[in-house]
Amino acid sequence: MPVLRHEDIEDVYRKHGHSVLRRARQLLENEDDALETVQEVFVELLEHPEQFGQRSSLVTWLYGVTTHRCLNRLRNRRTRARLLGQDQPSPVQASPAGRVESWLELRRILGSLPADLARVAVYHYMDELTQDEIAEVMGCSRRHVGNLLQRFRDRVHDEGSGP
Amino acid sequence: MMESPRRASDCASDLTFDRLVGGELVGHGERKVLDHVETCASCRARLAEIRSQQDVFAQRKLDLPPRRRSWRRAIGFGIGPALAAACWLLLQRPRDVSSVDQGEERTKGGSPLAFYVLRDGEVSLGRAESALHPGDAIEFVFSAERPGYLAIFSVDGGGKASVYFPLAPRAAAFPVGPARPVPLSTVLDATLGEERIYAFHCESAVELEPIRAALAREAGAPPAAPGCRVSTLRVRKERP
């Protein structure tokens, strides 16, 4: 099990930290939360380098970890708002074809989606990754990515045309 | 608006650009992206923007919590004082992997690869065939007679093949010299049994995953990697 030293972490931070911060900003739209997420990601790399393990690319691993942490934060925000009575759910605006009509709309529902659907939606709609790229980041097959995207569209469609 | 990815099919994603500026794209992959960037103003601008972000971010300081700092000191045990003692390990010239006798064990006395062990706060020179314990931290040294690229793999007692060094998809440039420390410490996990460690010193930055996969298939036979020389250590991991 490899263990990263301070110098190793700093080198990774200088090379790749900008991409972690960028996507944290995109997803969270809150500078303090984004900076905290950057910190968390690199502490995680320090404490659990085995999670990077055999992955072929550190950048794709960082994309995955950052996305996971940001989605958790969005989920926590939503839960907190619900507990405080500040959540005002509204139907997802979806076209008959089940398309998500805006990034803002997608971001609003991310916190309520199952983790794998939220992740695939972020990679597809926000990052505009190809299905091959998504498969690499998520560590699954391209076919599975296609299935997840279809499930996401079905879910958006169902919620948009609900009662 | 977000019906599907909107960028043109030839245009690179931010993920690709991040891998490019992070040094993860080499050879054909790098050339393909750069060729496209030359002809696409949009991608050229995006790449410049990402490079600028990287430059700006690199000025930021990484602050880790105090408890992690002390933990790190315990791991980063440094082998400087012991380097002199390690020079005797600068040994016979390694042979091309193609000429390695797959049945022959090459001990530390015949290999440019050696290691130090941190156990209970004490650092000692590792000895091939000696017993190591789960939780021992080890740090490798490698003696390179010529410029090249280094990668270190292990196959543990359970047959699992791992990349010890570097934390990257390709072998890392490694300096010439006797008993140079490999900049990555390793803590041994709980898997017991014999562990084989292979150092590949190569003329180019070879991809690691094919080598790791080959070792996973056949632990006792390091794969033939053109331009690489392989050194082998065998250690035994057992309960204290």
> Are residues A63 and A7 located together in one domain of the fold?
yes
Domain that holds residue A121: 92-163
Domain end, chosen from A27, A59, A88, is at A88
- Please state the ipTM of this predicted complex: 0.81
Task: Please tell me whether residues A9 and A80 are part of one structural domain.
Answer: yes
Which residue in B168, B200, B181, B119 sits closest to A61, CA to CA?
A: B168
Q: Which residue of chain B is at minimal alpha-carbon distance from A11?
A: B58
Domain boundary at A37, A59, A88, which?
A88
Question: In B188-221, at which residue ranges do the beta strands (DSSP E only) sit?
Answer: 193-202
Q: Are residues A118 and A60 in the same domain?
A: no
Give chain B positions within 8 Å (CB) of A119. Answer: none
Same domain, A38 and A72: yes
How many domains does one find in chain A? 2
**A14 contacts chain B (CB < 8 A):** yes
Inter-chain CB proximity A128 and B13 less than 8 Å = yes
C-alpha angle A133-A139-A142 in degrees, rounded to nearest 5: 55
Q: Say if residue A3 is in the same domain as residue A74.
A: yes
Mutate to test the interface with A, among B3, B13, B15, B164 (most CBs of A within 10 A): B15
pLDDT digits (tens, 9 = 90+) for B121-153: 677 777 666 688 887 778 788 888 888 999 998
Sign, CA torsion A74/A76/A80/A82: positive
Residuewise pLDDT in 10s, chain A (163 residues) = 455 666 777 888 888 999 999 999 988 888 888 888 998 888 888 777 767 765 668 899 899 999 999 988 887 776 666 555 555 444 444 443 444 555 667 777 777 788 889 999 999 888 889 999 999 889 899 999 999 999 998 888 776 643 3
| A64 and A99 within one domain | no
Which chain A residues in 59-118 lie under 8 Å from chain B, judged by CB atoms? 59-60, 63, 99-103, 106
Query: In angstroms, rounded to a whole number, what is the distance separating the alpha carbons of residues A55 and A37?
Result: 21
Cα A159 from Cα A156, distance rounded (Å): 5
A51: its two tokens: 């999670």
Looking up tokens 């303090």 gives A32
Residues from chain B contacting residue A60 (CB–CB below 8 Å): 15, 19
Q: Assign residue B222 a region (left: φ > 0; alpha: ψ between -120 and 50; beta: otherwise).
A: beta
Sorting pLDDT into bands at 50, 70 and 90, what band is B35? very high
A18–B57 C-beta distance less than 8 A: yes
| Pairing verdict, β B131-132 and B228-237 | parallel
Q: List, in sequence order, every residue forming a beta bridge with B118; answer none if it has no partner.
A: B123, B137
| CATH code for the domain of A60 | 1.10.1740.10
Q: Do B19 and A59 touch (CB under 8 A)?
A: yes
Same-domain status, A82 and A126: no
Tokens of A71: 């989605």
The pLDDT tens digits of the residues spanning B146-168 come to: 889 999 988 888 888 888 888 77
**Of chain B residues 184-213, which have a CB less than 8 A from chain A?**
184-189, 209, 212
> What is the rounded CA–CA span in Å between residue A161 and residue B222?
59
Question: In terms of domains, do A68 and A146 share one?
Answer: no
pLDDT in tens, A33-77: 888 899 888 888 877 776 776 566 889 989 999 999 998 888 777
> CB–CB of B229/B201 below 8 Å?
yes
Instruction: Give kind and range of the element (H or E) at residue B64.
Output: none
What CATH number is given to the structural domain containing A109? 1.10.10.10
Residue A56 dihedral angles phi and psi, to the nearest 5°: -80, -20
Give the confidence band of B109 by pLDDT, cuts at 50, 70, 90.
Answer: very low
Instruction: Please identify, among A37, A68, A88, the residue that sits at the C-terminal boundary of a domain.
Output: A88
Residues A19 and A74 in one domain: yes
A115/A163 same-domain check: yes
For residues A5 and A75, membership in a common domain is answered with yes
Task: State whether A110 and A129 are in the same domain.
Answer: yes
